[in-house]
Chains A and B, each alone.
Chain A
Amino acid sequence: MATSCKKYLDIVPDDVATLDNAFSTRAEAKKYLFTCYSYMPKNGNIDDDPAMQGGDEIWRILYRRNGYTDMARGLQTKVGPIGEKWTILYKALRDCYIFLDNIDRVPDMETTEKRQWIGEVKFLIAYYHFYLVRMYGPIPLIKHSLPIDASPEEVQVSRDPVDSCFNFIVHEIDEAIPDLPLMSYDPVQEAGRITQVVAYAMKAQILVYAASPLFNGNTDEAGLKGPDGTQLFDQTVSKAKWDSAASASLKAIEICQSAGLKLYDYRDQNGSNYNQFHLSDTIVTQLTIRNAFCEKWNSGIIWANTQAFSSVQGIALPMMDVARPENHVPRGEMSPPLKIAEMFYTQHGVPIDEDKTWNYNGRDNLRTADSTYALYIHRNYTTAALNFDREPRFYADMGFDGSVWYGQGLYDDSHPSDLFYVQAKFGQIDALQFDRGSITGYFIKKFIHFENVVEAGASYATHDYPWPIMRLSGLYLLYAEALNESQGPGPEVYQYLNLVRQAAGLQSVESSWDAYSINPSEYKTQKGLRDIIHQERMIELAFEGQRFWDLRRWKEAARMMNAPIRGWDGQQKNAEDYYRPVTIFNQTFGTKDYFWPINDKEITANKKLVQNLGW
């Protein structure tokens, strides 16, 4: 009976799934590889990406508050940190190491493929660390996986200095690169997986971060020390960091070129769509700017996040179609504040407060559009002077009361009055309401593919695209920035800056400033050129989820984000009343806001962990 009793309770069959099964075949191991990828933060997702609504670039009506809008309103807290990634990314790291620890056991795989997968996972380890460093500053590095039964002393890890963090991240990428393919050779199934193009470009970006003021000799963080007194931020500024950032950026540009990447141009498309309409240059330039972001896998995309397909198109699009008032899928809620509208250049490619020909002080005055503006502003529509005579990116990236919105089923631009246009004053179709509409009077056009169509009922046909994490124009600007910091102004800096301006339909920085700026020699000084590059970057990558991080790494957030969020007065019916800027929120940003607070509970659970300053 004794043995039968033993058997009676021995009910678990031998082939119950355990971790061993995850690496028993290539097919299962591939699932684990995908598991490692599944943790990628979802860029462009309003609930997962702090850079969308957590900064000063996109505002929302209060009715749509979520964690990140609360963060933008200064409600970040260490009790339940908003949008923290600490939990999920440390889980991701554990899975990455489980993968690395076990991949050797897979019997039916070729070594090259194994090495490629290992390279991908090593890159992800670097990327997840980088994401954490960007949020938290110095973090505890996970260089291997601790066993589940590790002692309490072992599991209580402490934060590594910033420089060690960056060194480790770059080291991991360097180790990964040789095993990665140059580019994706099976894009139908594999586009979005890590390649050398991605790895080199991200390495460049990471090194630029390491060289940027937030991490390079940041004296604000002098007080942040480990439990043993280790200085977590090196207090001396190192120019060498810019040197290596510049050379890494150049290397990345070369790799991109060798993989056939180039800046997107609508005209380059084989048999461009809608040739039959003989589209105007204005619209073609706009489409070049818009599609560079939302035409999936175009020639200028270095890395797009296939875990994060564009989810904001309906939220951003205003209704516009007066024939379909019942279709509420277009929400028109993603609202760039006035300061973002003012950030874009004039038609001459210089800032609005520097253009000799542009009336900066009269920008809030009313002005009615005549037919010369017909592709920008609906004919005879009265709107603010601010919306006149701006650069192509202003009209390609944003919509506003009276602005023409090309596409969405209407593709013939020969009769501009027939195209869709926005009407956002009180009582109009795109008006601000309690639960919908733009709180500032501006709308984001950049997110919306021009071939999306709002249909009858509640249907909205969209072209979805994986969210671009890095575009070639962004890499050019990184190089320009790093080169200017490391060597000062020079033709190579201008060259890469101008490549970006040219694609946006602007003159070179030299000729624009020379001809129109009240400060024509600005681009000749390192400081002046730095400001130009920064602004160029903020414009070029507007709404893409970069400004949030760039303002921080430049340590300019305290200056830029201690300003009111303003917009037009959406409660008003008449243009005279509507075009009075109102303050929507007085945003504040302190030194502590440069980094996330670590959850208090984690600090309690791990006494070796020090909290970020100010929290």
Chain B
Amino acid sequence: MNILKPDKRMQIESLRRYYISLRCCLAQRNIMIVKLVIVLLVGAHLQAAANPLRFRNLKLADRKMSPIISNGMEGHSAIQTTDKNSRYAGEPTSTIQNIQVTGLVADSTGVPLPGVTIYVKANKSIGTATDENGRYILDVPDNAVLVFSMVSFESREIPVNGRKVINITLRPATTRLDETVVTAFETHQKKSDMVGSVTSISAEDLAKNPSSNLTTALAGRAAGLIAFQRSGEPGQDNANFFIRGVTTFGYKTDPLILIDGVELSATDLARIQPDDIANFSILKDATATAVYGARGANGVILVTTKEGAVGKAKLSFRIENSISEPTRNVKIADPVTYMKMYNEAIVTRDASASPLYDEDRIANTASGANPIAYPANDWQKLLFKNYTTTKRVNLNVSGGGGVARYFISGSYDRDNGLLKVDHRNNFNNNISLNSYTLRTNLNVNVTKTTQLNARLSGNFDDYTGPISGGAEMYNEIMHSNPILFPAYFPTDSAHQFVNHILFGNSLDRSGSGVGYSNPYADMVKGYKNYSRSLMQAQLELKQDFSFVTEGLSARVMGYTYRQSYFDVIRSYDPYYYQLAGYDKMTKAYTLTPLNEDLGTEYLSYQQSRPVVSSSFYLEAMASYNRIFKEKHGISGMVIYQMKGSQSSADGDLQQSLPFRNLGVSGRLTYNYDKRYYAEFDFGYNGSERFAANHRYGFFPSYGLAWTISNEKFFKSLKSVVTNLRLRTTYGLIGNDAIGSADDRFFYISNVKMNDPDKKATFGGTTGSTYSLDGITVTRYANSDITWETSREKNLALDIGLFEDLTITAEFYSQYRDHILMTRTVPLTMGLSAPSRANVGAATGRGTDISLNYSKYFHNGFWFQAMGNFTYATSEYKVFEEPHYDEPYRYHVGHSLSQTYGYIAERLFVDDKDVENSPLQNFGEYGAGDVKYLDVNHDGEITDADAVPIGNPTTPEIVYGFGFSVGYKSFDMSAFFQGLANESFWINTQPYSSENTGSTVPFVSDGEVLKAYADSYWSEDNRNINALWPRLSASGNKNDNQISTWFMRDGSFLRLKQVEIGYSLPKRIQQKLHATSLRIYANASNLFTISKFKLWDVEMGGNGLGYPIQRVFNIGLNMDIH
């Protein structure tokens, strides 16, 4: 049957193995193997490869293709076959008697497995792979031990013992020991070889989150990631995420995000389609991030997208439809209660003042006598729908031939907001975010050893929504008078010929004309369009230099991208009317126009300054990777990087100058016998922000690992403890993103040469006056300011038990010093800008633990569970502050996001209680106001009584756990997520344009939260533990101090996501020419366990904003080959 010489034959067998593994890998979406196979196949005739039956007749043209194989396989573990040493050192096969073994390989449910690699353990060059029906034929020495392996399945070793038929089942891999992760510069490393700290999230898990925003899926998915979401507004719903918490007081606390090596923003990450993701890794410790230099100081999130695989075009399609609703709506007191409480608020503070709403009005509003004369608006109902819908479609096509491979994906997401639309307008003012992504990844084999990759992608957001945004509408309904006027008047006979809506309003209290906010008018009066786009082009050239020396390769990569944003607001000026001459008997009324001169029936137009930015990046890398004498694994790489960016959104000249980084970094690793590992990394980085003598920093790191389970003495334990590994790293990382983003060039002063705040005016005895703007120093030069440095330690333990359970536990600490901070300088110095120096220091400490459990049963039932836990604390170590008399005032020793405030004891009982208590220095107060604790016993409440209160505002603990079960075609998964050790404060700060989320009633027409109406101190009901203190129409400074009174526990546990899926039977799939067809339904945020009930607890102090959504989603996923 075999017409080729043995070695040729073996070559072909191995080729065939690869090819088949390609097929199965496509099914498994493990693109890196695909890559490998494709590279291999470049050397072969690809027409043949397309048809496995013809494969055996293939004549191999050239065996020099092996370098390409090794290139494609660098660092890859699934199949180790191309080691020349082993190949040629192996026993000559001809001396042994061969027998032909045939058999069937199936999975634990009995389904045949195509593409399982089978080779002889002692001679990897003898091998094959199962065909489409899971069958194989292989001539082997009769004493051979066969290794059956396939990605995602456990390898099995079966001695032939002369048998001619060997049927086996493979169990799905559980320990994931052989899994690779993508580390810095897209190097694939086996988990079992890792020294640094890298976690990955599977794209499938990310895809389970029914949201068009990828960042919302991150919380609880990976150990070491602190993530939480504060808003549910489409386009504004990015989760905040930090790797191992926040340990700097500089401005940049979020991680570096690299998508295919391109540094992008959180919003760009949010728009990535899970279906396009090949790998998602999180780099946490010093050695893992070192090679990124200054850019990686807060950790790195690394995403690589899929690439095409050789073969027929493969089409993959996903469509999802969701319904979403707020997890919880804030409840507001009814209008009658509002009026009564308003009157009480005036009179309770000033007995001589007259109430605002007379009894007559209250009674008529309560009876609902006439909703036009006595309106009672539930703005929430008037403005918002109960639920909205979302659509997501993703389509990708991949494939390729000998010269080139492609992966093209396109997706379309449409997220709608919850706002109502007034159909009298002919435009849509609801939020509608249309996001389109197009991605093309192209790999071209220029020569046998040269690969050229081109990636082009674009992401486009087209948004329509209310002028000031959805969150602002939510805030506005909380600050609009519910009873003063209706949202609009029905068109009466006097106005039957006008074309506009007769919006309600009233004369302003503090001037004339229209002064109230009518949120309905503000919502429907116009809309905002914005367009955001990101276009990127990336070119990468890989050259294998194995012909120079084995294991040497080089890579040059460059990219550029352009981001643009512009928005346009189109709106009319609403015509407002006020009720006049209302006759109670006939209910007749007339309407007085309030702004005849200003209202318009046509749209006007307003445009913000467009923001355009460009980025440029270039990296050159040489790497070397080789194993000597089977035991000495050596790898090294050197990378040169340069980066520049520029943006049109400049505040001043210094802002307009390009942002640049430059650096050289490198990595050197050595392992001995897969037991002892050592790694050394460094980054040598330059930043334009510092004076020439401080511009460059050298940041080395090293790591050691020991795979105990590979030691001889461990053999007896290995059936129980399949893997035991200890790792530790230590390193220095620099950060130049210090101070604030606007603050650059610390070594030169900055002067605002025309500052209108320093304007002076003279003259004007006749005619106009004479003015000149003044000059302000906005930064004092300090040429000593330099890198913030972080010393990071990591200790990790990997344990694998019974092949079912893997545990990774990591313990880390960071010590950051040279943190830039503002010095304490008395005001008598008269500085107009802060004086700063690198004097601060802080530590971060924490633990990341992850657990994975998988169990497959022969009856077709499988079960997987995962859990992970992140604990990240921070602490001030050096913080320049005044010498306090009270030790508790010092920040040192406390978390970086520790809040300081007063300890609220209770509300004052009466004025006598006030007299007998320490003086409180915040403004007028009396019975029913918050009583604070005099911590230092000096008889008054001052700054010195503010103590650290509550937990940090950034959660210290984030965890997630979930499980997936499957039985034949059905699968189901659930994922819980929670966080703990977080405090937040109900927003009781006075309303302002910066603080529109204030919950204070009456101030700026603040509505009354129902919770406040249900529990507040009043003269009749002197509840000293009431939720809200004594009412005030103008706000009370004493009560709105940051204190424990409004502190709440931010911890929660929620059912983040649950999914049920069903794969349609094969015959249906075949009818549709599909290779896989699965329908599923999933939901997010079904319930939350928390003590806090006013709004979704995850929103923290931002509770009046756009609520976080609960989503119900159905979807369909289909692959066609």
With a cutoff of 8 Å between Cβ atoms, the chain A residues found around residue B773 in the complex are: 31, 34
Are B826 and A148 in contact (CB-based, < 8 A)? no
Are A296 and B826 in contact (CB-based, < 8 A)? no
Q: Which of B37-45, B344-352, B809-817 contacts A (4 or more CB under 8 A)?
A: B344-352
Asked if A436 is at the interface of the complex by the 8 Å CB criterion, the answer is yes
A406 to B775, CA, bound (A): 45
Are A34 and B760 in contact (CB-based, < 8 A)? yes
Q: Please tell me which one of the listed residues A32, A37, A80, A142 contacts residue B775 in the complex, with CB atoms under 8 A apart.
A: A32
Asked if A492 is at the interface of the complex by the 8 Å CB criterion, the answer is no
A433 to B766, CA, bound (A): 39
Are A155 and B660 in contact (CB-based, < 8 A)? no
Asked if B1103 is at the interface of the complex by the 8 Å CB criterion, the answer is no
Asked if A602 is at the interface of the complex by the 8 Å CB criterion, the answer is yes
Q: What is the interface size of chain B, counting residues whose CB is below 8 A from a CB of the partner?
A: 81
In the assembled complex, how far is the CB of residue B924 from the closest CB belonging to chain A, in whole angstroms?
A: 6
Asked if A62 is at the interface of the complex by the 8 Å CB criterion, the answer is yes
In the assembled complex, how far is the CB of residue B512 from the closest CB belonging to chain A, in whole angstroms?
A: 4
In the assembled complex, how far is the CB of residue B564 from the closest CB belonging to chain A, in whole angstroms?
A: 23
A307 to B772, CA, bound (A): 12
Q: Which of A72-102 contact B (CB under 8 A)?
A: 73, 75, 77-80, 86-87, 90-95, 98
With a cutoff of 8 Å between Cβ atoms, the chain A residues found around residue B939 in the complex are: none
Q: Which residue of A lies closest to B755 (CB)?
A: A35
Are B353 and A11 in contact (CB-based, < 8 A)? no
* With A28-B753, A75-B924: A192-B763 Cβ-Cβ less than 8 Å: yes
Q: Which of A18-26, A380-388, A520-528 contacts B (4 or more CB under 8 A)?
A: A18-26
Residue among A35, A150, A193, A296 having the largest count of chain B Cβ atoms under 10 Å:
A35
With a cutoff of 8 Å between Cβ atoms, the chain B residues found around residue A148 in the complex are: 780, 782, 831, 835
With a cutoff of 8 Å between Cβ atoms, the chain A residues found around residue B761 in the complex are: 192, 306-307
A382 to B234, CA, bound (A): 66
* With A34-B774, A38-B759, A571-B354: A18-B830 Cβ-Cβ less than 8 Å: no
Q: Please tell me which one of the listed residues B346, B751, B772 contacts residue A34 in the complex, with CB atoms under 8 A apart.
A: B772
Asked if B882 is at the interface of the complex by the 8 Å CB criterion, the answer is yes
* With A12-B748, A79-B921: A435-B354 Cβ-Cβ less than 8 Å: no
A187 to B774, CA, bound (A): 21
Q: Which of A8-57 contact B (CB under 8 A)?
A: 8-13, 16-19, 21-22, 28, 30-32, 34-35, 37-38, 40
* With A11-B658, A86-B827, A328-B512: A306-B774 Cβ-Cβ less than 8 Å: no
Asked if A277 is at the interface of the complex by the 8 Å CB criterion, the answer is no
A145 to B830, CA, bound (A): 9
Q: Which residue of A lies closest to B688 (CB)?
A: A9
Are A434 and B356 in contact (CB-based, < 8 A)? yes
* With A192-B763, A458-B513, A605-B825: A35-B921 Cβ-Cβ less than 8 Å: no
Residue among A9, A155, A604 having the largest count of chain B Cβ atoms under 10 Å:
A9
A149 to B837, CA, bound (A): 10
Asked if B828 is at the interface of the complex by the 8 Å CB criterion, the answer is yes
Are A38 and B774 in contact (CB-based, < 8 A)? yes
Residue among B349, B765, B777, B1033 having the largest count of chain A Cβ atoms under 10 Å:
B765
Are A155 and B774 in contact (CB-based, < 8 A)? no
With a cutoff of 8 Å between Cβ atoms, the chain B residues found around residue A98 in the complex are: 777
Asked if A323 is at the interface of the complex by the 8 Å CB criterion, the answer is no
In the assembled complex, how far is the CB of residue A563 from the closest CB belonging to chain B, in whole angstroms?
A: 18
Q: Please tell me which one of the listed residues B346, B924, B943 contacts residue A601 in the complex, with CB atoms under 8 A apart.
A: B943
Asked if A407 is at the interface of the complex by the 8 Å CB criterion, the answer is no
Contact with A along B769-804 (1 / 0, CB 8 A): 111111111001110000000000000000000000
Are A9 and B827 in contact (CB-based, < 8 A)? no
Asked if A354 is at the interface of the complex by the 8 Å CB criterion, the answer is no
Asked if B563 is at the interface of the complex by the 8 Å CB criterion, the answer is no
* With A5-B686, A16-B653, A328-B508: A65-B1034 Cβ-Cβ less than 8 Å: yes
Asked if B507 is at the interface of the complex by the 8 Å CB criterion, the answer is yes
With a cutoff of 8 Å between Cβ atoms, the chain B residues found around residue A146 in the complex are: 829
Asked if A276 is at the interface of the complex by the 8 Å CB criterion, the answer is no
Are B352 and A77 in contact (CB-based, < 8 A)? no
With a cutoff of 8 Å between Cβ atoms, the chain A residues found around residue B346 in the complex are: 434
With a cutoff of 8 Å between Cβ atoms, the chain A residues found around residue B767 in the complex are: 188
With a cutoff of 8 Å between Cβ atoms, the chain B residues found around residue A78 in the complex are: 921, 942
With a cutoff of 8 Å between Cβ atoms, the chain A residues found around residue B1033 in the complex are: 63
A31 to B771, CA, bound (A): 10
Asked if B657 is at the interface of the complex by the 8 Å CB criterion, the answer is yes
A73 to B350, CA, bound (A): 13
Residue among A65, A188, A609 having the largest count of chain B Cβ atoms under 10 Å:
A188
Q: Please tell me which one of the listed residues A19, A156, A584 contacts residue B749 in the complex, with CB atoms under 8 A apart.
A: A19
Asked if B887 is at the interface of the complex by the 8 Å CB criterion, the answer is no
Are B924 and A91 in contact (CB-based, < 8 A)? no
Asked if A327 is at the interface of the complex by the 8 Å CB criterion, the answer is yes
Asked if A140 is at the interface of the complex by the 8 Å CB criterion, the answer is yes
Are B1034 and A63 in contact (CB-based, < 8 A)? yes
Asked if B437 is at the interface of the complex by the 8 Å CB criterion, the answer is no
With a cutoff of 8 Å between Cβ atoms, the chain A residues found around residue B354 in the complex are: 433-434, 571
Asked if B84 is at the interface of the complex by the 8 Å CB criterion, the answer is no
A139 to B772, CA, bound (A): 31
* With A18-B751, A35-B758: A94-B832 Cβ-Cβ less than 8 Å: yes
Are B753 and A17 in contact (CB-based, < 8 A)? yes
With a cutoff of 8 Å between Cβ atoms, the chain A residues found around residue B662 in the complex are: 5, 8-9
In the assembled complex, how far is the CB of residue B653 from the closest CB belonging to chain A, in whole angstroms?
A: 6
A5 to B745, CA, bound (A): 17
Residue among A10, A75, A600 having the largest count of chain B Cβ atoms under 10 Å:
A75
Are A602 and B760 in contact (CB-based, < 8 A)? no
Q: Please tell me which one of the listed residues B513, B658, B686, B943 contacts residue A79 in the complex, with CB atoms under 8 A apart.
A: B943
Are A458 and B922 in contact (CB-based, < 8 A)? no
Q: Please tell me which one of the listed residues A329, A602, A607 contacts residue B512 in the complex, with CB atoms under 8 A apart.
A: A329
In the assembled complex, how far is the CB of residue B335 from the closest CB belonging to chain A, in whole angstroms?
A: 19
* With A65-B1034, A73-B924, A306-B761: A435-B829 Cβ-Cβ less than 8 Å: no
With a cutoff of 8 Å between Cβ atoms, the chain A residues found around residue B513 in the complex are: 328, 457-458
Contact with A along B485-518 (1 / 0, CB 8 A): 0000000000000000000000111111100000
Asked if B556 is at the interface of the complex by the 8 Å CB criterion, the answer is no
Asked if A112 is at the interface of the complex by the 8 Å CB criterion, the answer is no
With a cutoff of 8 Å between Cβ atoms, the chain B residues found around residue A604 in the complex are: 882-884, 943
A237 to B1054, CA, bound (A): 75
Are B509 and A189 in contact (CB-based, < 8 A)? no
Asked if B452 is at the interface of the complex by the 8 Å CB criterion, the answer is no
Q: Please tell me which one of the listed residues B760, B827, B884, B942 contacts residue A38 in the complex, with CB atoms under 8 A apart.
A: B760
A37 to B763, CA, bound (A): 13
Asked if A119 is at the interface of the complex by the 8 Å CB criterion, the answer is no
Q: Please tell me which one of the listed residues B352, B751, B765 contacts residue A296 in the complex, with CB atoms under 8 A apart.
A: B765
Q: Which residue of B lies closest to A465 (CB)?
A: B764
In the assembled complex, how far is the CB of residue A273 from the closest CB belonging to chain B, in whole angstroms?
A: 16
Are A70 and B924 in contact (CB-based, < 8 A)? yes
Contact with A along B505-538 (1 / 0, CB 8 A): 0011111110000000000000000000000000
Point out residues on A near B: beta carbons under 8 Å. 5-6, 8-13, 16-19, 21-22, 28, 30-32, 34-35, 37-38, 40, 62-63, 65, 70, 73, 75, 77-80, 86-87, 90-95, 98, 140, 142, 145-146, 148-150, 155-157, 186-193, 296-297, 306-307, 326-329, 433-436, 457-458, 466, 571, 582, 584, 599-602, 604-607, 609
Supply 17 further A-B pairs (C-beta < 8 A) apart from A40-B760, A75-B924, A94-B829: A11-B660, A18-B749, A18-B781, A22-B751, A34-B771, A35-B775, A35-B776, A63-B509, A75-B923, A79-B942, A87-B827, A91-B830, A91-B832, A188-B770, A192-B761, A297-B765, A329-B512
| A to B CB contacts below 8 Å, 10 in the list | A8-B642, A17-B753, A21-B751, A80-B922, A90-B828, A142-B830, A188-B765, A306-B763, A328-B508, A434-B353
Task: Across the A-B interface, give the 9 residue pairs with the lowest CB-CB distance, nearest first.
Answer: A94-B830, A35-B774, A328-B512, A34-B760, A458-B512, A37-B760, A77-B921, A606-B826, A79-B921
Point out residues on B near A: beta carbons under 8 Å. 346, 349-350, 352-354, 356, 507-513, 597, 642, 644, 653-654, 657-658, 660, 662, 686-688, 692, 695, 745, 748-751, 753-755, 757-767, 769-777, 780-782, 824-832, 835, 882-884, 921-924, 942-944, 1033-1034
